[in-house]
Structure 1
Amino acid sequence: MLPEKTRDKITQLYGPAQTPPLAGKIEDLLGRYSSLMPSGRAAFLSERDVMLITYADSLRQPDAYPLQAMTRFAREYFKDIISIIHILPFFPYSSDDGFSVIDYRRVNPAHGDWSDVAALAEHVDLCFDLVVNHCSASSKYFQGYLAGEPEYEDFFISLDPDTDTSCVLRPRTSPLLHRFAGAAGEKWCWTTFSADQIDFNFHNPAVLLEMLDILLFYVWRGARIIRLDAIAYLWKEPHASCAHLPQTHTAVQLMRDILDLAAPQVLLLTETNVPHADNISYFGDGTNEAQIVYNFPLPPLVLYTLTAEDAAPLTRWAQTLEPVSERTTFLNFTASHDGIGVRPAADILSPAEFQGLIELAERHGGQVSCKHDRRGNAIPYELNLNYFDALNNPHAPAADQTEIDRFILSQSIALVLMGMPAIYIHSLLGRRGWPEGAAQTGHPRTINRQKLDLEQVRRNLTEKSLPTGFSRSAQVFQRYLDMIRQRRRQRAFHPRAGQQVLDMGKSFFAVLRTALDESEAVLAVHNVTGRPQRLNIEPGRLGPVPPGQGIDLISGQKISPDVNGSYQLDLPPYGFLWLKVS
């Protein structure tokens, strides 16, 4: 029988009359999957966990399905490096590079099949997307709805086109309602993101039950982490904002309850690219919603820091980060399959600083995606360009080594902060953008989604082309792997290890991480400028760890304090160190 707290959530969503029948169906669902669930309770995330974000077909080979090519690459390069791979939606789809799902229970046959997913899971843990807010217009759900099939009645939301929806928060500029021809006449259906992505109606308990079924199906198929895509918009009320509604949080809590009952080792990751306070609200009370939340302000703030040579806003924001509970943490990243979301930084940067990012993206060959506010004004929400290109103008002559140093420093920041790092495959491989692809598809996000030939990637990782030696891709990849290896060895980088962000002036971003047992500390100091900098670390800056001989984990150089217990650090342009003191 479901716990009382779970039944209470059902009542909150659907009322007391619906609670007994829906609770019974959920109990039946749990019973059906009980023998299929992985056994054991895995430990929470540790300093050894690093996530790779990739499409199933980011790497291709002529003699293999893309999932098989990814497994070959993981087997060859990722041992003791990457512990989790987030495979972006790998199901049959009709648009949006996978996020318009046609069939939630099948692997896209162009990518492989479930046996290929299982083969990859032998080498790494996996994160799957549950595209919970909407499905493809070509899905059996929506086609059945239009045909008037009783099973899919009320699976979607149809409104009179004259309904006042002005209160609804719009993440896109497309119409909220789109017209479709159904067996019983035309229907104007709710479409938050596009005409091909039809929003589910969670007022219908059958929709929730189907999503819970898919949730458990993914666990059975090997997911250790479930990413809840676009979860903020799940619950709809025509005269409300329809973002972060209390019912949405209750639905997330219900999913967490079901996983805690069936597979407590599986973690929820919420995708809510919104201002920081709204974003971290999906931690709930620290025990009842998502265990992992994206650190969405990080990508635009790091970009500002390195292009303006000013760490002050990043430092002020990072000083506000606090652990929520022993079972929650942040996902720290700089790039993903989407663009660089800027709305989370709008309340942190000044208007002039924010506008500077918009202008920088345009100068660097990117595009700026906008949404409309309630007055119809265009509001930038995303910069569509590759992160390496955001930091280094692809159209301007520059010293290649400086470009690489600047980029690697940006990735170090994400690696040292409290939480688990996540790395987009194009960042790991040191790739630049693909504007030709964006021009071909007409979709700005394509600029950061190029599919790569695995053999060419292998050649790029060993070739020499720069005056300094190895190519950009080879240098970025090797330096990234070296940082990850060091990170995985340090207890001070545990997701729950202590964190103190130190204000050392606008030229530096500095983070002190202290192991849970206070036996070691790592001080990560970044020179965010293109000029050499000297920094004096005074006694007491290393928290509970007394001054002693330290070692820079990046260079291997030993660093000793002077007679006063201070460390004198000399950092080259865009240089950084991870000073470990035990």
Structure 2
Amino acid sequence: MKKIKERLSFIYENQNIDSILQRIEERIAITKQMSLKQRKQNWDEKDVVLITYGDQFQEPDRPTLETFKKMFDKHLADKFEIVHLLPFYPYTSDDGFSVVDYKKVNPLLGDWKEIDHLSQSARIMFDDVCNHISAKSEWFQEYLNGNPEYQDFFIEMDPATDLSAVTRPRALPLLTKFTLANGEEKYIWTTFSEDQIDLNFSNPNVLYSMIDVLLFYLEQGAEYIRLDAIGFMWKEIGTTCIHHEKTHEIVKLFRDVADEAAKGTVIITETNVPHKDNIAYFGNGSDEAHMVYQFPLPPLVLNAIHKGDASALSKWASDLRPTEGETTFFNFLASHDGIGLNPIRGIIPEEEILAMVEDLKKEGALVNYKKNPDGSESPYEINVTYLDALNKRTDDDDLRVKRFLAAHSILLTLQGVPAVYIQSILGSRNDYNGVSKTGMNRSINRQKYEVIEIEEELTNPESLRSKIFRELTKLIQIRKSEPLFHPNSTMAVMNLGKEIFAFDRMNSKHESLFVVHNITNEPVDCRLNGTFLNIISGETVVINNSFTLAPYQFVWLKPII
């Protein structure tokens, strides 16, 4: 508890922390007394994550989590060790990220017993939406009603305050006007939307309440905790209000609490920001996040295949620092959000980013914009399924599959833990009907399915969904059986020309595995020499100085000595 006390002293400086420290100690003791599921310590090559909504699959008169478990057990359980279950709590907007009650399950999805049943098939990642809460939540409604218990739970701000330095992730007002029960008007800090009310962590009671939520999630079976929008937690006027030193200290405190209560719990920070800011959440390598999202990866892979030039991707990958036993990267290509562009600013020239955005818009992608300090707007997110992002509308399905698998080979073999979005494993196309229904660009990649319809497509061997599902799950199985794909195995990028993205995965025994991708639509000669086992095909390959890779072909080659 000494570290927890030191962190509280740093966060609250001259305030008396004895009371909150005692409350935290007592709350941790309650969790430790419970018989929690034994947690795996760290991670290995078998750990592949599925990202999904709890209502992804639907049947009449059945809780959707029950239906999801049925589909998961039938089609996915042998491929994915971990399920990232996107927010399954009651909510009012943003597909779950405006949480009404952190401790309840959305009744349409089921109840905590459904979460428990699913945790018997996979380890579960919960979202901890700790920066903000729904405007319809009891906490905020009690604040509006004048309940003194919630008086400082939210951030009141004079609208005349100079907030120009504050980092804005959206082209929306930072403050929202609310009318209290007594008729008084207050302007409240709302980073993301008028329905997402930022919590005031300068109030120790807010911090305690969110530690209580964190421990409750551990008690309900969460083995991975994703800290959503974590970078914005601490506000200080005159600063950017992102990545504040006290935000980092709170993440470290969450890590300490989880370690104390249930060692083996994995803390993941979600910070869609430039790479140097993102990896800062590793702390010293043993005191902050276990994993950070690899946000540059989706746009960099897309850019490489879009241009047929892997130079920027190779340069970025070669600069990645090795991770050790207590940290690794959380790799992904697609998620419930769009493809973020801010993480590649400074890696890819701005004019090249804008050109890619315009090209994708012509092929049906949608775009969300952010407001800049000078009042201008810039694209911050491309809204599109990853399958459609990689391809043109006029491409045939064979070409779609080749590009898609090449991209996912990169995902599955790169240093770190790979996560595959449910729409990707299902080979989903853009859902414009979903956008029409919700008015949200992000709905283009959040389609939900009736079980009978999706199973019909998956079992049709000629359908695009079926082809992608078969081939991608095959790659996942191979990855899981290869120890050289351990998330912390060393990675060294190989310079084989701009048309090729290649690297060597190595372990402490000096064993190697060469992963080579042709990211172009033309055959490419690749300089390599030796005898190898192609672990995808199972064939022995003898290469004398060079071999030819077909368009978008990739190989996983293990040297035979």
Same fold, TM exceeding 0.5? Answer: yes
The reply on whether 1:202 has 2:184 as its aligned counterpart is: no
Counterpart amino acid of residue 71 in structure 2: F
The reply on whether 1:6 has 2:4 as its aligned counterpart is: yes
Aligned to 2:436: 439
Q: How far did 1:367 drift?
A: 1.5
Aligned to 1:264: 263
Aligned to 1:528: 519
Aligned to 1:415: 412
| Mapped partners of 2:98, 2:78: distance in 1 | 34
> Cα distance 1:29–1:35, how it changes in 2: closer, same or farther (>3 A)?
same
Q: How does 1:170-249 map to 2 (within 5 A)?
A: 170-184=168-182, 185-249=184-248
Q: How does 1:309-458 map to 2 (within 5 A)?
A: 309-394=308-393, 397-458=394-455
Q: How far did 1:325 drift?
A: 2.9
Q: How far did 1:6 drift?
A: 1.6
SS in 2 for 1:580: strand
| Mapped partners of 2:168, 2:433: distance in 1 | 29
Q: How far did 1:35 drift?
A: 1.6
SS in 1 for 2:65: helix
| Mapped partners of 1:577, 1:435: distance in 2 | 35
| Mapped partners of 1:203, 1:43: distance in 2 | 33
Counterpart amino acid of residue 452 in structure 1: Y
Which deviates more from structure 2 when the two are superposed, residues 37-46 or residues 384-393?
37-46
SS in 1 for 2:406: helix
Aligned to 2:154: 156
Does the 8 Å contact 2:492/2:504 carry over to 1? yes
SS in 1 for 2:411: helix
Aligned to 1:551: 533
Candidates 467, 477, 480, aligned match of 2:469: 477
Q: How far did 1:517 drift?
A: 2.8
* Number of residue pairs matched by the alignment: 559
SS in 2 for 1:560: strand
Candidates 550, 560, 569, aligned match of 2:547: 569
SS in 1 for 2:146: coil
User: Normalized against structure 1, the TM-score is what?
Assistant: 0.94
Does the 8 Å contact 2:45/2:482 carry over to 1? yes
**For each residue in 1:226-263, what CA deviation from the matched residue of structure 2 results, as whole angstroms up to 9, or x when unmatched?**
00000000001122100000010000000001011111
**For each residue in 1:162-183, what CA deviation from the matched residue of structure 2 results, as whole angstroms up to 9, or x when unmatched?**
1111111100111111010113
Q: How far did 1:570 drift?
A: 2.1
Q: How does 1:239-318 map to 2 (within 5 A)?
A: 239-318=238-317
**For each residue in 1:310-354, what CA deviation from the matched residue of structure 2 results, as whole angstroms up to 9, or x when unmatched?**
000000000011124311000111100000001111111122321
Q: Percent identity?
A: 42
Does the 8 Å contact 1:50/1:81 carry over to 2? yes
Aligned to 1:503: 495
| Mapped partners of 2:94, 2:159: distance in 1 | 25
| Mapped partners of 1:561, 1:123: distance in 2 | 43
Aligned to 2:112: 114
Structure 1: gaps (5+ residues): 465-469, 539-546
Does the 8 Å contact 1:129/1:227 carry over to 2? yes
Aligned to 2:542: 560
Which deviates more from structure 2 when the two are superposed, residues 13-22 or residues 94-103?
13-22
| Mapped partners of 1:356, 1:256: distance in 2 | 41
**For each residue in 1:90-110, what CA deviation from the matched residue of structure 2 results, as whole angstroms up to 9, or x when unmatched?**
000000000000000000001
Which deviates more from structure 2 when the two are superposed, residues 271-280 or residues 57-66?
57-66
Q: How far did 1:561 drift?
A: 4.1
Q: How far did 1:39 drift?
A: 5.5
Counterpart amino acid of residue 495 in structure 1: P
Structure 2: gaps (5+ residues): none
User: Normalized against structure 2, the TM-score is what?
Assistant: 0.98
Q: How far did 1:536 drift?
A: 1.9
Aligned to 2:21: 23
| Mapped partners of 1:399, 1:17: distance in 2 | 65
| Mapped partners of 1:357, 1:317: distance in 2 | 18
Does the 8 Å contact 1:287/1:325 carry over to 2? no
Q: How far did 1:79 drift?
A: 3.2
Does the 8 Å contact 1:53/1:422 carry over to 2? yes
SS in 2 for 1:315: helix
| Mapped partners of 1:521, 1:473: distance in 2 | 33
Superposed CA RMSD: 1.3
Does the 8 Å contact 2:29/2:261 carry over to 1? no
